[in-house]
Amino acid sequence: MSNTHRVVILGGGFGGLYAARALKRAPVEVTLIDRRNFHLFQPLLYQVATGSLSPGEIAAPLRSVLSRQKNTRVLLGEAVDIDPSAKRVLLKDSSAVEYDSLIVATGSQSAYFGHDAWREWGPSLKSVEEATTIRHKILFAFEMAERMQDPQERIAWLTFVIVGAGATGVELAGALAEIANHTLKNDFRSVRPQDARIFVLDRADRALSTYPEDLSHKAERSLLKLGARVRGGVTVTAVDQEGVTFQTHNGSERLSARTVIWAAGVTVSDFCRQVAKRAQAETDKAGRIKVNPDLTIPNYPDIFVIGDLAAATKPDGTPLPGVAQVAMQGGSYAAKTIIRRVEGEPQNKPFRYFDKGDLAVIGRARAVANIFGVHISGFLAWLVWLFIHLMYIVEFQSRVLVFIQWGFEYITFGRGARLITGTAASDSVAGTGKLTSTASV
Ligand SMILES: Cc1cc2nc3c(=O)[nH]c(=O)nc-3n(C[C@H](O)[C@H](O)[C@H](O)COP(=O)(O)OP(=O)(O)OC[C@H]3O[C@@H](n4cnc5c(N)ncnc54)[C@H](O)[C@@H]3O)c2cc1C
């Protein structure tokens, strides 16, 4: 058995992948384990959900991303348990992997705040599968509206509700409005896709509530121009096949909507809860592990927790947001700390997050951005968004493909991936039971 220091990384998302890359030239053996065989660029999932990009354009096989990294092997597997004293991780297929240093980066999942039954009618946007389900729902809704004779039913099929007015909700609403106003404009005969009603509901009183107020208002105004309305200060109390019920300051309201999308919250991965339990680590309300300033778990200096799973704070005590930059920087930091230890160098300084700002895109060629405290909006902010997203898409091949795709769509208003995949025909029967025959349309 070799004496080389064994680093195991769980999760090949932003945190895990950046940790692996930072260990490229280190005198260690790296094993990266993910339950998926690809790295997913989650910030562009909404473009898959709205037919702009195909899943393959925002995902890159982990094995190929790391193929040139000779000290690293990639394993397909799902971590389900850990024995922190024996320094061993247990995988779902009952095999065990031993480590000298462990980096836990298994990310977050959608949270329905105790109402998991809502997931059936209001899918969330976290995986490729969910993105294609949403794409199906959106395109299918227009198809159904075209076939409805009852005006109320037609309106319900043309009503789209997004729960959550954070960046994901705002980006989805903008893209949906573009589909209705431009992409599908000439494609239907019985309905006008431009008549679609798009609502974004949030408990906070404004969209993008973590952004500066002026940018929130700009984002809301841009959405309104596109035909999407943000309703703040509302709490959703039910999501079902027919629509959404929510509580406002004036009482309960109901919106009949056949398409509901959940973009309202996240919680940690199941594996993270298991790590917290086994290591008796303290967690915050969302289940994130309260880590030491060097991102390790108290009493376990060999276990790093990074990205969406770590309840780390800024020097002033405010929690770090669940964004890609925090995960990437945390991954690189954990890797450097391990290298210092292996090479016998003095301890690394505490982790400091370098906040470059926030960006949200609103439809075609509009965005709001807070870059190093400078607030920009409109086309300029969109150009910044474009540049940053192309820069960070992992695989060079995807970068070129995505750029070509966006360029083409920008000029034509088209959307290349407008496919309804899955079981559209059976959905139509289950959907309402009130279909008119296609012959009458
Ligand atoms: C729709 C959407 C839009 C977003 N937009 C933005 C944005 O515009 N800007 C931004 O900065 N951030 C954005 N984010 C947030 C950002 O994507 C996350 O903060 C970031 O991905 C967190 O990185 P991570 O490494 O902690 O987890 P992830 O990137 O989620 O990676 C976790 C990995 O762990 C794997 N995994 C999970 N459980 C297990 C297990 N038990 N065993 C093995 N593998 C496992 C998963 O397959 C996955 O590959 C967005 C997120 C979503 C969902």
- Quick check: CB of 291 below 6 Å from ligand 1? no
Please give the structure tokens belonging to residue 337.
Answer: 């700390």
Q: Tell me if 409 CB under 6 Å of ligand 1.
A: no
Q: Find the angle CA(427)-CA(254)-CA(434) to the nearest 5 degrees.
A: 30
Residue 296 sits at φ, ψ, to 5 deg, of -95, 165
Distance 390 CA to ligand 1 centre (A): 18
| Cβ within 8 Å of residue 429, ≥6 positions away | 435
Identify the sign of the CA torsion 123, 125, 129, 135: positive
Counting beta carbons within 10 angstroms of the beta carbon of residue 92, is it exposed (0 to 12), middle (13 to 18) or buried (19 or more)? exposed
User: Pairing between strand 197-201 and 228-231?
Assistant: parallel
Q: Is 269 near ligand 1, meaning CB less than 6 Å away?
A: yes
| Alpha-carbon torsion, ordered 184, 189, 192, 198, to 10 deg | -60
Q: How far apart are the first and last CA of the chain?
A: 72
243: left (phi over 0), alpha (psi -120 to 50) or beta: left
Compute the half-sphere exposure of residue 297: CA atoms within 13 Å on the CB side of its CA.
24
Q: What are phi and psi of 248, to 5 degrees?
A: -115, 180
Amino acid found at 116: D
Which residue among 42, 91, 168 is best mutated to probe the pocket of ligand 1, counting the most ligand atoms within 8 A of its Cβ? 42
Query: Which ligand 1 atom minimizes the distance to the CA of 308?
Result: 26
**Cβ(169) – ligand 1 distance below 6 Å:** no
Q: Is 16 in the pocket of ligand 1 (CB under 6 A)?
A: yes
Which protein residue has the closest C-alpha to ligand 1 atom 31?
13
Contact 235, 265 (CB under 8 A): no
| 375 Cα–ligand 1 center, Å | 26
Domains 5-35+77-110+266-342 and 116-264+364-430 are alike in CATH topology: yes
Output phi, psi for 17, to 5 deg.
-65, -40
Check residue 436 and give its pLDDT. 34
Are the CB atoms for 80 and 96 separated by under 8 Å?
A: no
Ligand 1, closest atom to CA 270?
41
**How far does the centroid of ligand 1 lie from the alpha carbon of residue 69, in Å?**
22
Domain ranges of the chain: 5-35+77-110+266-342, 116-264+364-430
pLDDT for position 396: 58
Among 10, 14, 368, which residue has the most ligand 1 atoms within 8 Å of its CB, making it the best to mutate? Answer: 14
Bridge partners of 101, per DSSP, are: 7
> Known catalytic residue: 253?
no
Does 271 contact ligand 1 (Cβ within 6 A)?
yes
- Predicted pLDDT of residue 265: 87
- Is the C-beta atom of 183 inside 6 A of ligand 1? no
As beta bridge partners, residue 91 has 79
φ, ψ for residue 237, nearest 5 deg? -115, -15
pLDDT at 325: 95
Q: How many CA atoms lie within 13 A of 149 on its CB side?
A: 9
Beta-sheet pairing, 72-76 with 59-61:
unpaired
Determine which residue's CA is closest to atom 44 belonging to ligand 1: 34
The tens-digit pLDDT sequence of the chain (441 residues) is 578 999 999 999 999 999 999 999 999 999 999 999 999 999 999 999 998 888 988 999 999 999 999 999 999 999 999 999 999 999 999 999 999 999 999 999 999 999 999 999 999 999 999 999 999 999 999 999 999 999 999 999 999 999 999 999 999 999 999 999 988 888 899 999 999 999 999 999 999 999 999 999 999 999 999 999 999 999 999 999 999 999 999 999 999 999 999 999 899 999 999 999 999 999 999 999 999 999 999 999 999 999 999 999 988 888 999 999 999 999 999 999 999 999 999 888 999 999 989 999 998 889 999 999 999 999 999 999 988 888 887 665 677 777 777 777 777 777 767 777 765 544 543 444 333 333 222
Dihedral in degrees, nearest 10, Cα atoms 123, 243, 48, 74: 0
Domain boundaries 116-264+364-430, corresponding CATH code: 3.50.50.100
Give the residue from 108, 214, 219 showing the smallest Cα distance to 172.
219
Top CATH class of 5-35+77-110+266-342 equals alpha beta
Pair 130, 123: CB distance under 8 Å: yes
Contacts of 420 (CB under 8 A, 6+ apart): 135, 136, 139, 140, 143
Q: Measured between alpha carbons, how far is 235 from 23 in angstroms, rounded to an integer?
A: 45
Catalytic member of 57, 130, 153, 171: 171
Q: Whose CA is closest to atom 30 on ligand 1?
A: 107
How many A from CA of 168 to the centre of ligand 1?
A: 13
